[in-house]
Structure 1
């Protein structure tokens, strides 16, 4: 899985650039994962495979497997891998909640905003845990509560005129560290820590690019689907104005907060 709170519509020909959006968070996850040359890494909700490829390069005596439910993103991941000529990485279209991973094979597991949509999170993390060797590390990034996300409130305000963010489910279902602790403990993990991170997320080089980027997000298409043509145009005009308000010399940025969650099998 990938960050389905920002999920593009399956039929869309445009693929959202999560790697650009989450560039400030990627380094935190990579540092916490701390891949060694002999590691075998599982990347859950790998998207286009940035973390998977980076891990494979570090684990040059080991391997990296990326799993995601999106065939479009996995196709892009495989093309990038072929271009970079990385021999020890592969990708599978799979739901990590039920996929039959080889037992006790991996020494590291990671997810960049890809674990919040499991129908049964205890079952999902139990399945992931079975794939890890005892003592192995799980590192994941998850969004904090939706009320902590400037991007949620700003986009919602622009499209609806109401600043009330979405309920803390879906993309924000793991925003409560106590709940995450309970889930991971029930799934067989220990030494669980949640570190508060605050980083801006990127939505393009300029306001027009920002509008184009967020138009393919599920939250945007869902809100726009409720409007008629005139209302849609007014909403998009407000959205562009919002992007302009957040436009800097380095592009369009919105504040966000996440938890960096670390646990051991």
Structure 2
């Protein structure tokens, strides 16, 4: 029996459902279920009884909960003594960093007043493999390097336009109509991740006339009425002057979280990883554009 298994047990006991606990520990539900079965086999006890509304603790589970919470308090006290201060550097894509993470990062800082947090929100992501950053929030899962990775969240993209642009623009009812409009998008040579090259997913041959390497600049141009653009829903939906057009067109991409494998021993980095994972799970609907 190890602490990671107990941490998963605590998450399920508190959430009441494996599906709800999974994002809190940065795993999928299948992995959480497998780890719980491993813990039960190690203890020779059934810890949860599955019922229609989720997982309920058995008597053995109740007894383990008391012990696990005591261990958690002891480890938290050790962590606080050993790692009450320090620096965390977080690298994130420009859009996610400035529109989502920056909005919530003050909450993490208030929880951990001894920590200093650097948020590097640019298109040129830093590398945890090279120790340029402690935590990287990426648009694709890295395939190389001594890294620990997990999917952080899926997010949705839609086509947005300013209301005052549409009042004067040609009709926009079909994909073919897009060719009659000013499209905003990325400069081909400055697309730093292939996941951002999505115009062909909408209609082959679409080309932007107003181009920028910055998603923030693309949003500003859209809001000014310069044209229409594909924007993440967490950006476009946040501006009441913008509306979705061609609602049948919906794209989905993912954010991935990566840390150097040696960083797993750092309590302050674990705190941030747990916090941002829970935050993304809490705001899942908004990220997907389902609110």
TM-score, scaled to structure 1:
0.29
TM-score, scaled to structure 2:
0.27
Richer in helix (by share) = 2
